């Protein structure tokens, strides 16, 4: 959860609320490496895929923070 790959939030009456925000956001690589179904991402030549995944997670997290009115946090 500290990677923000699966952020925990709820929407009540159209208002977004983040229910868990990590103290320190960690790289998504640690989350992916723990699962054998993602082992192909760590083969030589696939570094760009990991970078794209991290960028996507960072972008989605930033959008969620904005929706929750917490821009610039975490």
Domain membership flag for residue 27? yes
User: Nearest CA to 58 among 25, 24, 11, 16?
Assistant: 25
Tell me if residue 8 falls in helix, strand or coil. Answer: strand
Domain membership flag for residue 33? yes
Domain membership flag for residue 63? yes
Domain that holds residue 19: 8-67
- Give the whole-number percent of the chain exceeding pLDDT 70: 96
How many separate domains does the chain show? 1
**CA dihedral for 38, 34, 28, 22, sign (positive or negative):** positive
Domain membership flag for residue 37? yes
Residue 44 has what pLDDT? 97
Domain membership flag for residue 72? no
Q: Give the pTM.
A: 0.87
pLDDT of 20 over the 90 cut: yes
Domain membership flag for residue 49? yes
Domain membership flag for residue 40? yes
Domain membership flag for residue 1? no
């Amino acid at each position: 959860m500290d990677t923000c790959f699966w952020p925990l939030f709820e929407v009540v009456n159209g208002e977004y609320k983040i229910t868990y925000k990590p103290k320190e956001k960690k790289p998504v690589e640690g989350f992916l490496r723990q699962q054998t179904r993602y082992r192909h991402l760590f083969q030589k030549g696939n570094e760009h895929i990991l970078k794209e995944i991290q960028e996507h997670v960072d972008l989605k997290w930033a959008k969620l923070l904005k929706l929750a009115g917490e821009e610039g946090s975490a």
